[in-house]
Structure 1
């Protein structure tokens, strides 16, 4: 190991020596780029993507180009701009000022809603998604960590944290704005059809951003709509593309016009200057026989010596390795197994080597940990391809039957459903038991229910339906999830719910009992508890002296006051009939299996109003769980084996 490190360091030093002979760094300089577009025409250096065009009548960029619904487009300056010094990680300073107009499409009386954004993106090929994404992001194609945008949004999307339909947002690698400004308080209405002007000033050295907004034709306002410290360096590459994006939603038509644009950036860099060894010293003058011969040993000689020594070291290393015994190179020590070298079909789960998993999680580093419990530790990982994944490493003490677990993981990995988190693969090498999942950007449901923000009712209803669809599909495939709870439900960038984090790990006793007695029936029971948590916005376990959530729900049902369980933080926008029906579905799922508990296919039909709901018992059944406490299984939901 020491020899390998020495060889690696020697190689790096040799390359550094070679490079140092080629160029030297000079003084720090400023690299300035200036763009000026008093108007636009098709012959300018503007790349149009998606639904965007340059009007030959108004000489403005139009997004969308026609009277289109649910469309998106981008208009970018054709060449990349240097916005980050990679040596110092200092972002460039820049000023972007542009005039824009947001108005209804000609001849249309539809509500004016949509949005426009000034964007800084990593490529000139991607078109962002329409609707509430404003053409900024494309969760299927784009490196979302490298996107900066200032949005001018005229549609309220509560799921993205929008305060109203007239706001400016600052987006850093996410569709959810880092900061949102209600511009109504500044007397500005973005979609009033007037021409507005925006000034976006960023000081890269101080990492300070200012945004001004006012009518076109005036000087910069005295008061900014936003000013504050903001570090853009994590969201920038050295070279980025700048421009605009916009979109419209369903049943809404709106045209965003950019009529003029000035942009100036100043980035820092080091001037590359010639080395001290000038070319003149290498020129031999033919008619000057007495010209002095340089006494300095040529740099090429040093390079030649370094390369020869490096080759000798490599040959010695290969010779020593060939003398080692074959046992030191067993199949278990090969970094990439033969199975992993075989090409895999797209989206098909496969076996990973421990080296691949370790590299993706930076050696299972603490900074990569997403969560942990007594049975496992969960990490965020990134493979060399740039793909983000979730790596769940199980404790060896919790895996009593590894062969059975491998079989179960492979069975679940074969299925694909829009509401199930896909399993990328597994690793059962070197006493490790690891399952690799797709990474879902918005995190788990429990953080949204019990942490930051308030999920609106429409989002919660969709979560319940999505999870029900996922469980119904699993049960149809004769599989069970075995770990249904808010922390096992994940939200993607569109807030679609995906069920993941399967309950694979069980002791031998629990395993046999689970297979013979519980399996899919407990999934239904746990789904009922999840429904109560989603509607009420509170956890299943209570504080000392208070009723558990299930006890409280049945008590309110008995007194015909189920409406009191609905989360009041959602405000008056809740549909009370929907909320009560969903609560009743949740309670029905907690009935005894032989006393009315439905299967998940029936639950889906209840939630979609495709099947009439049977009446719930007037009072809570004596035993909600059909198994005796003498068997070691719980008689209520609070001690389910997968909590």
Structure 2
């Protein structure tokens, strides 16, 4: 029955209208009878921290190069590696700093004593900086160098942070005033306010102990900073002005300190005492006024108790009214169906046709014009370059719809003059472009115009894994283990589709904004001497071997390629296993928060993947089961395999036809 016939049936319309008004009245009565205040009086939520000194037993989370010195009981950033390092010391529990109901930032006051010095020359030039930070998590370490361990360029747009930096190096690209300034950073490494503290007789790099007072009034939005000798509050603030912190705060945030040093510069930042107090507004929830006493009557002097029968609940009337309404509508529909005419049949057919209209096609990779790619990458400008290798250059691009992409542009010299390799790459790109998996970087499209060979990927905001293992800071164990499992899931899926990645390494694994691992940068084309049949036989086995080496990199925080005079990572891992000391391979920078069972399982799986294929190397499907603890890992040999997979410590890749015999 059509909708207009239903509504313009006078008898049925009156019934629906009457029933609707009745239901509405009943709901209003019941709502008013059960109405409870959503919130009660406002109160102040106060948090107070006091650290006259620091020890390892306190609730301080240390990340990266941060440590607590046992000599002076101070937080020290960095601990050992004085060049190009970053660290954080964060109070372990979150603090309420924003009221979502009133959209008001909390008021807080913090004071701490700090010292910045050069361990090699007390009066010499130094470089780096220390920051008081308010951050959304206790796991992330920012980049070293000018980023002060506060942020990194990969996630700056999404990462909420409030910081006060004490910077001893001038970085013009960040708008720094000089090499002796204090900055207020709101969601960006570029300071919203910057103050030359030389005007106040303060020299951050003089090696003396300074004390900072940071005061913020959330209601007045007044921000003040004082710096002076330890124990003496200066009469004049180095900064006093109105700032609204609320857009940069979550309801709960973490507070603490971060610091970094740059290349060829040494600097040590110490924080020896710290007090912090915050006050935020919150509303108490008022409990219900209904009590057990209101439901019982005490009779006969209180000796006998009986429950007073309650009235028929309003919900029962609502139920009866709905049933009656549905029954009447069904009868009316049945009677009208008998009287349907040709117009009604045509209307029904039209409605059915519209209802089953084909859905729009799912998102698929598409062809881009060269002009689109050129515009997105600013004509392949140098500032857009993300990285390069012997075959290609990768650029960051922004499409006309605002989406960020990674554009991989292959060198024309990479392909043979006959063009067969280019045709094969185009075929493989289109094939992989159909793949969709949560742990595989989607191919958004391609461009093969003007003899250009370009592949367009989705952009991963947090960059590649190798930068985090060897550059940005220290990934905590929970994220590392998840990366290993994510990559295993992606490779297992590819192998189940009879495909292979052919380029498994840390620089081909990317991290999205939530640090989920995405496998990308496929090795589309092997060298011309390798046949398709050979590739199909060995590529998946190569993936498994390379995944094993990747796992060792993630657990140890080391590069697979050794430096001069150092043992190669794979050789080192097997030597430690044979000596019963593979636990020493775990990256010590992660601190004591590593899960030993997970770390041991990851190392065993990594070593197993590097076994000869006929001596126990697993499939990726089995690797996923091992990492999920769904089945035990077979015992590894106690002696190093005589012939490992032909892994080159120089290239890190399988070499020659010998792969097929493993």
TM bracket, shorter-chain basis:
0.5 to 0.7
Residue of structure 2 equivalent to 1:223: 226
Q: Deviations over 1:20-52 (max 9, x none)?
A: xxxxxxxxxxxxxxxxxxxxxxxxxxxxxxxxx
Residue of structure 2 equivalent to 1:165: none
Residue of structure 2 equivalent to 1:26: none
Unpaired runs of at least 5, structure 1 = 1-52, 62-110, 125-149, 163-167, 183-199, 233-239, 250-254, 260-342, 628-632
Q: Does 1:596 align with 2:616?
A: yes
Q: Does 1:370 align with 2:402?
A: no
Distance (whole Å) between structure 2 residues aligned to residue 495 and residue 174 of structure 1: 13
Map 1:313-352 to 2 at 5 A.
345-352=361-368
Residue of structure 2 equivalent to 1:58: 42
Cα deviation, residue 117, structure 1: 5.5
Residue of structure 2 equivalent to 1:640: 654
Alignment partner of 2:401 out of 385, 392, 400: 385
Q: Deviations over 1:371-420 (max 9, x none)?
A: 11111000001111111000000112223422221221111111111111
Cα deviation, residue 113, structure 1: 3.6
The answer (yes or no) to whether the contact 1:481–1:523 under 8 Å persists in 2 is yes
Q: Deviations over 1:422-443 (max 9, x none)?
A: 1100111111111000001010
Unpaired runs of at least 5, structure 2 = 1-36, 46-91, 104-131, 144-148, 167-183, 196-212, 229-236, 254-278, 284-358, 657-662
Change over 3 Å in CA distance of 1:571–1:370 after alignment to 2: same
Change over 3 Å in CA distance of 1:206–1:542 after alignment to 2: closer
Distance (whole Å) between structure 2 residues aligned to residue 216 and residue 431 of structure 1: 60
Q: Does 1:157 align with 2:138?
A: yes
Change over 3 Å in CA distance of 1:447–1:514 after alignment to 2: farther
Distance (whole Å) between structure 2 residues aligned to residue 545 and residue 112 of structure 1: 44
Residue of structure 2 equivalent to 1:580: 600
Cα deviation, residue 552, structure 1: 0.6
SS in 1 for 2:386: strand
Distance (whole Å) between structure 2 residues aligned to residue 602 and residue 206 of structure 1: 50
Residue of structure 2 equivalent to 1:246: 250
Residue of structure 1 equivalent to 2:560: 540
Distance (whole Å) between structure 2 residues aligned to residue 396 and residue 113 of structure 1: 53
Change over 3 Å in CA distance of 1:357–1:60 after alignment to 2: farther
Cα deviation, residue 512, structure 1: 3.5
Change over 3 Å in CA distance of 1:169–1:535 after alignment to 2: closer
Change over 3 Å in CA distance of 1:116–1:439 after alignment to 2: farther
Which stretch of the first structure deviates more once superposed, 437-446 or 168-177? 168-177
SS in 2 for 1:381: strand
Alignment partner of 2:464 out of 439, 444, 447: 444
Change over 3 Å in CA distance of 1:449–1:514 after alignment to 2: farther
Map 1:415-434 to 2 at 5 A.
415-434=435-454
Residue of structure 1 equivalent to 2:499: 479
The answer (yes or no) to whether the contact 1:623–1:635 under 8 Å persists in 2 is no
Cα deviation, residue 173, structure 1: 2.2
Q: Deviations over 1:490-548 (max 9, x none)?
A: 11111111111111133321354751442111000000000000011110111122211
Q: Does 1:257 align with 2:273?
A: no
The answer (yes or no) to whether the contact 1:116–1:151 under 8 Å persists in 2 is no
Distance (whole Å) between structure 2 residues aligned to residue 358 and residue 116 of structure 1: 45
Residue of structure 2 equivalent to 1:569: 589
Residue of structure 2 equivalent to 1:398: 414
Q: Does 1:468 align with 2:488?
A: yes
Distance (whole Å) between structure 2 residues aligned to residue 207 and residue 562 of structure 1: 48
SS in 2 for 1:257: strand
Q: Deviations over 1:40-77 (max 9, x none)?
A: xxxxxxxxxxxxx996743999xxxxxxxxxxxxxxxx
Change over 3 Å in CA distance of 1:432–1:201 after alignment to 2: closer
Distance (whole Å) between structure 2 residues aligned to residue 349 and residue 604 of structure 1: 28
The answer (yes or no) to whether the contact 1:159–1:495 under 8 Å persists in 2 is no
The answer (yes or no) to whether the contact 2:160–2:248 under 8 Å persists in 1 is no
Across the aligned residues of Structure 1 and Structure 2, the Cα RMSD in angstroms comes to 4.5
Map 1:141-290 to 2 at 5 A.
152=134, 156-159=137-140, 173-175=157-159, 177=161, 179=163, 208-209=193-194, 212-213=214-215, 223=226, 243=247, 246-247=250-251, 257=281
SS in 2 for 1:609: coil
The answer (yes or no) to whether the contact 1:532–1:583 under 8 Å persists in 2 is yes
Corresponding pairs, count: 387
Q: TM-score, normalised by structure 2?
A: 0.51
Change over 3 Å in CA distance of 1:169–1:393 after alignment to 2: closer
Which of the two has higher C-alpha Rg? 2
The answer (yes or no) to whether the contact 1:419–1:497 under 8 Å persists in 2 is yes
Distance (whole Å) between structure 1 residues aligned to residue 245 and residue 401 of structure 2: 22
